[in-house]
Amino acid sequence: MPTVEAVSVSPGHTFSKPGAPAITLVEGIGVAGDAHSGTTVKHRSRVARDPSQPNLRQVHLIHAELHDALVEQGFTVGAGAMGENITTRGVDLLALPAGTRLAIGADAVIEVTGLRNPCAQLDAFQPGLMAACLDRDDEGALVRKAGVMAIVVTGGTVTAGDAIRVLPPPGPHRRLEPV
């Protein structure tokens, strides 16, 4: 059963986010108290390009299975270390089509908008981590493994142990692209 393994939040633009007992998702805004919450972009490089862009990166999710694989490769990572707000287990986040909704816990619903594009900050955190978060599929296309981004459709409180229900959009489905 898909579940929330951990939740994290940071009021500053820090690479890692400290764990929290709970986070509050606010409809159309993001994670209450997080530096990336808001209706328009908050990611520094995106703000520099166009601060009026809609914020499609209100919530960052990473699958705990990625952490497991990275630990096996010798990296020291865990929940929140790579900047995610929600660490999941049992959901193949990277395979979800764009527009998939995730109902989390009793009330919260988020909509997956796209992939997180791994950046050089990963290597600043731990050398080699960026390359470890990239791969190639059988056709040679780049695979970005650093999680997905989402917007908040319905607010609510999210805690570790909460169930996640995957609600795919009606077809035809679109593959996730970086946002």
pLDDT at site 160: 98
Cα 12 from Cα 27, distance rounded (Å): 21
CATH of the domain at 8: 2.40.33.20
Count of domains forming the chain: 1
Domain range for residue 11?
3-167
Is residue 10 domain-resident?
Answer: yes
Cα 178 from Cα 174, distance rounded (Å): 12
pLDDT at site 78: 95
Is residue 59 domain-resident?
Answer: yes
Can you give the pTM of this predicted structure? 0.96
Token duo for residue 151:
């917007």
For residue 2, whether the previous peptide bond is cis, meaning omega lies within 30 degrees of 0, is no
Is residue 119 domain-resident?
Answer: yes
Is residue 172 domain-resident?
Answer: no
Tens-binned pLDDT, residue by residue, of the chain (179 aa):
999 999 999 999 999 999 999 999 999 999 999 999 999 988 777 777 888 899 999 999 999 999 999 999 999 999 999 999 999 999 999 999 999 999 999 999 999 999 998 888 999 999 999 999 999 999 999 999 999 999 999 999 999 999 999 999 998 999 999 99
Is residue 149 domain-resident?
Answer: yes
pLDDT at site 45: 76
pLDDT at site 42: 84
pLDDT at site 129: 97
DSSP helix/strand/coil, 118: coil
pLDDT at site 119: 85
Cα 24 from Cα 171, distance rounded (Å): 30
Is residue 125 domain-resident?
Answer: yes
The Cα-based distances of 82 to 49, 68, 90, 125, 167 in angstroms read 23, 13, 19, 8, 26
